[in-house]
A and B are shown apart, each in its own frame.
Chain A
Amino acid sequence: MQAANLSINGVLGHSFLVIGLVASIFGALSLAYGTRVGDRRLLRSAPNYAWLSGATAVAAFATMIHALVTRDFSLAYVQQVGSRSTPALYNVTAAWSALEGSILLWLTVLAGYTTVIMRKYRKRLDDPLIAWALVVMFVVTAFFFLLSFGPADAFRSGAPGVTDGPGPNPLLQNHVLVLFHPPILYLGYVGFTVPFAFAIAALITGRVGEGWLLVTRRWALFAWGFLTVGIILGGWWSYEVLGWSGVWAWDPVENASFLPWLTGTAYLHSVLVQERRGMLRVWNLSLLIATFALTILGTFLTRSGVIKSVHAFSNSTIGPFLLAFFGVVVVVSLSLIAWRGDRLRSPGAIDSPISREGAFLANNVLFTVFAFVVLLGTVFPLIVEALQDRQIAVGPPFFDELSMPIGIALLFLMAVAPVLPWRKASGELLRERLFVPAWCGVLALLASILVGANGLAPLLAFGLAGFAAGAAGRQVALATRRQGWRGFVGRANGGMIVHLGVILVAVALTASNSYTHVGEFTMQQAQPVTFSGHTFELQQVTAFTTPRSKGLQAEISIDGGQAYSPAITRYTTMGTDIGTPSVRTGFANDIFLTLEKAANAGATEVQVKIFIKPLIVWLWIGGALMAIGTVLAGFPGRRRNPLLPTSADVVGLPVVGLPVVGLPVVGTPVPVEEQSASV
C-alpha cells in the first residue's frame, strides 16, 4: 500500500509540475510571438495555457497536502516535516513549514494570479500591454515551476524504510495562526508580481503614460493589503507563541517581508502624483521593479542559507537560481528604462514643496531611506564577512534606533499631507486646516503625560499620532458630510481609514516598546505576589501529555480572578523545551505570563516571568483597521470632479489644463476645501 502511495504522490507531483512548466513556457511564447506577428489564433490559445498552469500548480499543491495527510513517508519532504503524531491541521500547515513546500505555495499563489489576470483580460489579449504583462507573469511562473521541479523539489523520493518523521518545527504546531499567516503573506508578497508585470509591459510597449497605472492600481492595493495583514498576523503569532512577549524581532525573514512593504507603500503614494500630474514616471516604475526584485532578493537571502535567521531553512542549492533571477530582473528592468528614457521624461513640474505632491515626495524619500536602512542592516554582516572574514551581528537595537526618527517623521507627514491641496498651499490655508488636528496632537500629548508617559521620543510619537489622527478624522468628517456613506470609500477616504490604523499600530508599538514592565518571581502556593498593581497567585502545577509532547503548566490567578496557564512543553522527537505564554488581554494593557521553571506536577513553587505590556491590543485593532481601510480604498470612490484645475482636460467644459509650464490654469473657481478632498 505504501509503495503505491510512493508512486502516486511522487509521480503525480512531478507530472503536474512538468505540465505546468511546459504550459507556462508555451503561454509566454504564444503571447509574445502572437503579439509580434499579430497572430490572433496564437493569442486566443494563451488562456488555455494559463488555465493549465494554474490547475497543475493547484493539483501539485493538493498532492503535497495529500501526501502529508496520508503520511506518505516515501517522499523526502514528508520525512522532513511529517509525523504520525502530528494533528491533521498541522500536517496540512507542514506543507509550508520548510523550503520546498513554501516554494510550492509560492508557485500555487503565483499561478493563481496568472490565471485570474488571464481570466480578467482574456478579451483584450490583442492589446500589447495586456499581452506583454501576461508574458511576464508566465515567465515568472515558469521560473517557479522550474524551482519546484529542480532545486526545491518537494516530490523527491526519500530514504527507503522511513516510517515516521519529526513533524514540523514545534513552534509551527501550537497555534492556529500558522494556518493563516504564511498563505496571506504570500498573497501579498507574490501579488506584487502583477503590477511589476504591467510595469515591464508598459516599458516594452512604450506606453509609459498613465494607462497601465489605472489597470494595476487595485492589484497593487490588493497585494499591499494582504502583505500588511500577513505581517500583522506574523507579529500576532510571534506574540502568542514565542515566550519573549515581542511582536517583531527584525529577523532577516521578517525584514524580507517588510522591505517590499516599504517600497510598495511608497509606490501607493507616489502613484497618485503620476495619475494626477503625469509626473514621477521613472520613479514609480523603479519602485514597482524594486518591490518585486526585493521579494526575490529577500527570498534568496533567507532561503539560501547565506544569512542566519531563526526562520531560515536548511542550506539548499536554490541560492544561485534566485540570485541569477534577481540579476536578470534588475538588468532587464534597468535596460528597459534606459531604452525608453525619452518617453519617460515627465511633463510639468511640482510648483511648491508645500503641496500634496511635495508631501508625497518627502514620504517617498523617507520610505526609501527606511528600506535602505533595513536592507543595509540585513546584509551588512555578509559584507563585513566578505571583506574582512569576520563575523558580526546587526540586531534589533540598531533597527530600533534608526527606525524611530524615521517613524516620527512619517507620523508628522501623515498629519500634514492629508490637508494639503495639490500644487501649492498658502500659510493661511495651512493654519486654518491644521489648527484642530494640531490641538488633537496637544491633547494626545497631555493625555499621555497625565497617564504617566515620559521620554522625548515616545511623547513626540504620541503627540504626532494625535495630530495625524486629527488630520485623518477631519478628512473623513469632511468627506462623509459631503458624500454620506460614500465618504468612507474610494482611495482618498479609505486611505484615511488606513492612516488611522497605522496610527493605532504606531501608538501600540511605541507604548509597548517604551513602557513594558517585566519582573521575574519565584512564586509559591498561597503566597500572592504583587507586581505593577496586580496580584498573582499560584494555584497549582499540572502535567499534560500528548502523543508528541509532554509538559507542565502552572495555573496562576490574576487579581483573584480567572487563572492563566503558562506552560513549558517538551517535544519528544526533538527534545526541545518550548515555552507557551498565557496572556490576559485588556484595552489598557496585557499581562503576559511565561513559565520559566517548574520541578514537576504538584510542585508548590515555580519561577514565572510577568510582562505588563501597555496598549498592545491596539496593534491588532490597528491592523484590522488597516485591512478595512484597504478594502474601502479598493471600492470605486466618487468620480473626480472634471472642473478641478488639476483634472485632465475635458472637452466641452470651460476648463483648460495647460501643459505650458508657468502659465496660470484657468477654470471655474473651485473651493479649496473640495480640491483637497477629492484625490
Chain B
Amino acid sequence: MTDKWKQLKQWPGWVVLGVVAVALLAFGSIRESGPRTSEERVEEISKQLACPICDGESVFESRNTASVAIRIQIKADVSAGAMGDDDIISKVAQVYGARVLLVPQATGIDALVWALPVAALVCAVAGLIVVFRRWKRAADTVPTADDRALVETAIREGLDES
C-alpha cells in the first residue's frame, strides 16, 4: 500500500490531477450563470461611475441626490434595453465629464496607470532573473585546494571538540 501510494504520487498521479483540474476549470469557465437581473446591471454600471459632487464615493454607494438621479437614469436606460453598459457609461460621462469615470481610459497619459504596473512587474521579474543568474554563477565557482583544506580542518576541529 505504501509503495503504491508512493508510486501514485509520482508522475501518473500528477497527470491525472492536471487533467481533472483543467477539465473542471474549462467546464466551470464556460458554464453560464444565467442572465443578469436589471438590478445587477444597474449595480455593475453604477460601480464604474463616481458620484459627481461627493468625495470618493461611487454612484452605487452614494445616497447623494446627484447619484440618485444618475441611478434613476441608468435604470431607465437598462429597462429600455437599447443600450449596452459602455454606452450608458459614456452617456453619463458626456453630461458630467470624464472625471466621473472610475475606470481610467487607456489613451493618452491616462494609459500610464495601466502600463506602469505591468512595467513594474516585468522589471521586478527581470531583476529576479538577473540576480538568480548572478547567484548561480557565484555558486558554480569551483573550490580551490586551499578551500578544501580549510573545510577539512574545520570538520576535524569540530569533531575533536565534540
User: Which residues of A approach B to under 8 Å, CB–CB?
Assistant: 242-244, 246, 249, 251-252, 308-312, 349-351, 353, 358, 361-362, 365, 368-369, 372-373, 376-377, 380, 384, 387-388, 390-398, 402, 428, 431-432, 435, 438-439, 441-442, 445-446, 448-449, 452-456, 459-460, 463, 515, 517-520, 577-579, 609, 651-656, 658, 660-663, 666
CB pair A349 B124 closer than 8 Å: no
* A428 CA / B10 CA spacing, docked (Å): 8
Write 23 A-B pairs (CB below 8 A) sorted by A numbering.
Answer: A249-B56, A310-B55, A310-B57, A349-B134, A353-B128, A365-B121, A373-B120, A391-B99, A392-B101, A395-B58, A398-B102, A432-B6, A435-B13, A442-B20, A456-B25, A460-B25, A517-B37, A652-B158, A654-B155, A656-B155, A662-B142, A663-B148, A666-B155
Q: Decide yes or no whether B150 CB sits under 8 A from chain A.
A: yes
* A396 CA / B58 CA spacing, docked (Å): 9
State which of A350, A394, A666 has its C-beta within 8 Å of the C-beta of B135.
A350
* A518 CA / B36 CA spacing, docked (Å): 10
Residue among A362, A656, A658 with the highest chain B CB neighbour number at 10 A: A656
Q: Shortest beta-carbon distance, A592 to chain B, in Å?
A: 13
CB pair A431 B10 closer than 8 Å: yes
CB pair B61 A518 closer than 8 Å: no
Given contacts A392-B99, A654-B162, A656-B158, contact A351 B135 (CB under 8 A): yes
Residue among B28, B37, B43 with the highest chain A CB neighbour number at 10 A: B28
* A666 CA / B120 CA spacing, docked (Å): 40
CB pair A445 B28 closer than 8 Å: yes
Q: Which A residue's beta carbon lies closest to that of B9?
A: A435
Q: A244-B61, A368-B124, A432-B6 are in contact. List 14 more A-B contacts (CB 8 A).
A: A252-B56, A309-B55, A310-B57, A350-B135, A365-B121, A397-B102, A442-B21, A454-B33, A459-B29, A653-B158, A661-B139, A661-B141, A662-B141, A666-B155
Q: Which B residue's beta carbon lies closest to that of A532?
A: B37
Q: Which B residue's beta carbon lies closest to that of A664?
A: B151
Q: Shortest beta-carbon distance, B38 to chain A, in Å?
A: 9
CB pair A519 B117 closer than 8 Å: no
Total interface residues on B, using CB and 8 Å? 72
* A452 CA / B143 CA spacing, docked (Å): 60
Could you tell me the dominant secondary structure of chain A's interface residues?
mixed
* A609 CA / B68 CA spacing, docked (Å): 14
CB pair A654 B159 closer than 8 Å: yes
Provide the residues of chain A in CB contact with B148, threshold 8 Å.
663
Q: Which B residue's beta carbon lies closest to that of A361?
A: B128
Q: Shortest beta-carbon distance, A305 to chain B, in Å?
A: 10
Provide the residues of chain A in CB contact with B8, threshold 8 Å.
435
CB pair B113 A398 closer than 8 Å: yes
CB pair A393 B20 closer than 8 Å: no
Q: Decide yes or no whether B98 CB sits under 8 A from chain A.
A: yes
* Closest 10 pairs between A and B when the two form their complex, measured CB to CB: A395-B102, A349-B135, A308-B55, A391-B99, A456-B29, A309-B56, A310-B56, A435-B9, A244-B61, A454-B31
CB pair B161 A397 closer than 8 Å: no
Q: Decide yes or no whether B54 CB sits under 8 A from chain A.
A: yes
* A349 CA / B40 CA spacing, docked (Å): 53
CB pair B104 A394 closer than 8 Å: yes
Given contacts A353-B132, A655-B158, A662-B143, contact A518 B39 (CB under 8 A): yes
Q: Shortest beta-carbon distance, A519 to chain B, in Å?
A: 5
Q: Shortest beta-carbon distance, A539 to chain B, in Å?
A: 23
CB pair A662 B140 closer than 8 Å: yes
Q: Which B residue's beta carbon lies closest to that of A374?
A: B117
Q: Which B residue's beta carbon lies closest to that of A432?
A: B9
Q: Decide yes or no whether B91 CB sits under 8 A from chain A.
A: no
* A373 CA / B39 CA spacing, docked (Å): 31
Q: Decide yes or no whether B73 CB sits under 8 A from chain A.
A: no
Given contacts A312-B55, A449-B24, contact A520 B39 (CB under 8 A): yes
* A428 CA / B9 CA spacing, docked (Å): 9
Given contacts A376-B117, A397-B102, A398-B103, contact A351 B139 (CB under 8 A): yes
Q: Which B residue's beta carbon lies closest to that of A393?
A: B50
Provide the residues of chain A in CB contact with B11, threshold 8 Å.
431
CB pair A393 B99 closer than 8 Å: yes
Q: Decide yes or no whether B154 CB sits under 8 A from chain A.
A: yes
State which of A362, A396, A428 has its C-beta within 8 Å of the C-beta of B47.
A396
Q: Which B residue's beta carbon lies closest to that of A353?
A: B132
* A362 CA / B24 CA spacing, docked (Å): 28
Q: Decide yes or no whether B138 CB sits under 8 A from chain A.
A: yes
Provide the residues of chain B in CB contact with A666, threshold 8 Å.
151, 155
State which of A377, A463, A520, A579 has its C-beta within 8 Å of the C-beta of B21.
A463
Provide the residues of chain A in CB contact with B138, threshold 8 Å.
349, 661-662
Q: Decide yes or no whether B145 CB sits under 8 A from chain A.
A: no
Q: Which B residue's beta carbon lies closest to that of A251?
A: B56
CB pair A652 B161 closer than 8 Å: yes
Provide the residues of chain B in CB contact with A393, threshold 8 Å.
50, 99-102, 104
* A253 CA / B142 CA spacing, docked (Å): 54
* A453 CA / B25 CA spacing, docked (Å): 11
CB pair B56 A394 closer than 8 Å: no
State which of B24, B40, B47 has its C-beta within 8 Å of the C-beta of A446.
B24
* A666 CA / B98 CA spacing, docked (Å): 66
Residue among B13, B138, B148, B158 with the highest chain A CB neighbour number at 10 A: B158
Q: Shortest beta-carbon distance, B100 to chain A, in Å?
A: 7
* A392 CA / B114 CA spacing, docked (Å): 14
Provide the residues of chain A in CB contact with B13, threshold 8 Å.
435
Q: Which B residue's beta carbon lies closest to that of A456?
A: B29
* A244 CA / B51 CA spacing, docked (Å): 14
CB pair B63 A373 closer than 8 Å: no
Give residues of chain B (13-62) contacting chain A, Cβ–Cβ below 8 Å. Answer: 13-14, 17, 20-21, 24-25, 27-29, 31-33, 37, 39-40, 43, 47-48, 50, 54-58, 60-61
CB pair A459 B28 closer than 8 Å: yes
Q: Shortest beta-carbon distance, B52 to chain A, in Å?
A: 10
Q: Decide yes or no whether B109 CB sits under 8 A from chain A.
A: yes
Provide the residues of chain B in CB contact with A353, threshold 8 Å.
128, 132
Provide the residues of chain A in CB contact with B37, threshold 8 Å.
517-519
Q: Which B residue's beta carbon lies closest to that of A388?
A: B109
Q: Which B residue's beta carbon lies closest to that of A253?
A: B56
